[in-house]
Amino acid sequence: MLPRVADVAEEASIHAAKLARRLKQERMSLATAESCTGGLLTSILTDISGASNWFKRGWITYSDKSKEEELGVDEELFDKEEGSAGAVSKEVAEAMATGAAERAGSDMAISITGIAGPTGETEGKAIGLVWVGVQLQDKLEARSAEFGHGDRYRNKEAFANFALRTALHIWDDHFSEEEPEAESGEEEDPQNEDEVNDTQQLDSALKTVSGGNILDNVVDWDGEPETKEEEPSTTIPGADVDWDE
């Protein structure tokens, strides 16, 4: 059973709210650069009241030429010759994010490039493939996923949601690297109330009507299909033996 559009939209809104809170707390700004999602990511982010305090600018660079002219993406990446990265690639996602951050003067930028369908599939790049780039201060990273189970609209929703998830993961990775390790004997600060509420809301949003995770069919962060390990048995050998026999 596919997740309802409303479920994905709710999850995306929660992710956007979490990112907005972090940007406000750190007094940082954000820009976006979208291709296949056509401004959907920007719309989700600016649905948040007070977005003008942290959202600076967004680009919809749908064509290859617009990516070159507006974001400074190297035209060689779009070369039709064998060996070029192509529009839907790690290299283009990273270049889009870097270009958006530089042109907007923002601390963070998120880019999206993918194949929403129903056409556009090429050799080695199926419908539902998306690359998301994130420039966060001096950190640049791109991650991909494949959503082959939806129509064009569902894929666009999934792409935007994945972009927000990716941004949060990279944010956590980046700032956890900067935090000094607590010395032995020192207790870590407990989570503040906002973080606890965020976690509770996110856990709730990740549940579908059937009780599963909305993104169970999505590849993991390293690009390999997720596999669920079987839980070890808790049965004690011999517990069912009748010792009086």
In tens, the pLDDT along 81-101 reads: 767 899 999 999 999 999 999
Q: Does CATH number 3.90.950.20 belong to domain 5-180?
A: yes
The model's confidence at residue 240, banded by pLDDT at 50, 70 and 90, is very low
Dihedral Cα 110, 113, 116, 119, nearest 10 deg: 170
The whole-model pTM stands at 0.73
The model's confidence at residue 197, banded by pLDDT at 50, 70 and 90, is low
The model's confidence at residue 140, banded by pLDDT at 50, 70 and 90, is very high
- The DSSP-derived string for the chain is -PPPHHHHHHHHHHHHHHHHHHHHHHT--EEEEESTTTTHHHHHHHTSTTGGGTEEEEEE--SHHHHHHHH---GGGG--STT---SSSHHHHHHHHHHHHHHHT-SEEEEEEE--SSS--BTTB-TTEEEEEEEETTEEEEEEEE--SS-HHHHHHHHHHHHHHHHHHHHHHHHHHHSPPPPTTPPPPPPPHHHHHHHHHHHHHTB-TTSSBTTTTS--TTSS---PPPPPP-PPTTTT--TT-
**What span, in angstroms and rounded, lies between the C-alpha atoms of 233 and 33?**
48
> Which pLDDT does position 7 carry in this prediction?
82
* Stronger pLDDT, 185 or 145, i.e. the higher one: 145
Polymer length of the chain: 245
Mean pLDDT (whole number) for 223-235: 42
Cβ atoms 150, 2 nearer than 8 A: yes
6-20, 24-38, 150-164, 211-225: range with lowest mean pLDDT: 211-225
